[in-house]
Amino acid sequence: MKKHSSIFSTHFITPAISTTLVLVLLGTIVFFVLTAHRLSDYVRENINVSVLISDDLPAEEIVKLKDGFRRDPYVKSVVYVSKENALKEATRAMGSDPTEFLGYNPFTASFEINIKADYATPQGMDNIVKKMKMTPAVVDVVYQRDLIESVNRNIQKLSVVLLVIAALFTYISFALINNTVRLAIFAKRFIINTMKLVGAKWSFIRRPFLANGATLGIFSGIVADGILYSGFVWLQKYEPEINLVVGKDVLMIVGGAVLVFGLIITTLCTLVSLQKYLKMSTNKLYHI
């Protein structure tokens, strides 16, 4: 009876396990790189800019000013805080009412503005503040410049470190998967040679091996994606706030990257290993 290859055979499962583990490692690195980028955007977009306005500004002018801020391309969100609300927030934070010993409300009405991450740089903030101060109704603009400088400086350092780690692990992943595929092809080198001796064309010989390599990559990628998704579900239960940083698009990018990398790398490594044995003479097969 003729035997047919199966994904449940030992010759397939063994390299599939190795490839899956490597893809899980690679997917984890991609996840952390994307998460770090999103986290940096989240931190920068949650740095408040307080735009203090005149106390005698009419209600309709406040509405117009708020609408004007909303239309600015660098503004993510705008919240108006009246003098009364500012006093309530301060009283709640300090545990005492400042008006009791001052005799008046010391706070000024303001707009609490969050800037989009792409503009939240020291130079970008200088330009934004300069533009805001040109508005007649604006008394002053207050923001934590030192914090923005510190955040951007740390983000640059983290980006370099993650880039180096990602490049290193990509190389390691390539090498490990390549070795796994090469061992699988090595075990079938005499079958390849026999097919050559009976006159089979190289394209005919390659076809089943490339199909098997592609199947290995897709199967391993799907299993790796399942493991990574299970890990993310566990992470959600452990730290629910991760959803503020990681969205469905991140999971889709990670899953797609793992699947595509698995398919490309296993197919490419299969092709390279096949070429080696297709070009090798029969005598050399017994000396490797």
Residue 154: C-alpha distances to residues 28, 37, 45, 149, 183 (Å): 22, 12, 15, 9, 43
Residue 4 has pLDDT above 50, yes or no: no
Average pLDDT over residues 116-128: 87
Structural contact between residues 22 and 253, judged by C-beta atoms closer than 8 angstroms:
no
Selection from 27, 254, 34 nearest residue 158 by Cα: 34
Residue 256: C-alpha distances to residues 30, 158, 165, 248, 252 (Å): 11, 24, 20, 12, 6
Amino acid letter for position 211: A
Mean pLDDT for all residues in the chain: 83
Q: Which position has the higher pLDDT, 170 or 217?
A: 217
Structure tokens at 76: 């993510």
Average pLDDT over residues 246-254: 87
Q: Which position has the higher pLDDT, 229 or 246?
A: 229
Residue 130 has pLDDT above 60, yes or no: yes
Among residues of the chain, what percentage have pLDDT more than 90? Answer: 14
Position 1 scores a pLDDT of: 37
pTM here?
0.69
Express each pLDDT in 54-96 by its tens digit. Answer: 877 888 888 888 998 899 999 999 999 888 887 788 778 777 7
- What is the spatial distance between Cα 133 and Cα 124, in angstroms, rounded to a whole number? 14
Domains of the chain, with CATH numbers? 10-42+151-285 (no CATH), 48-143 (3.30.70.3040)
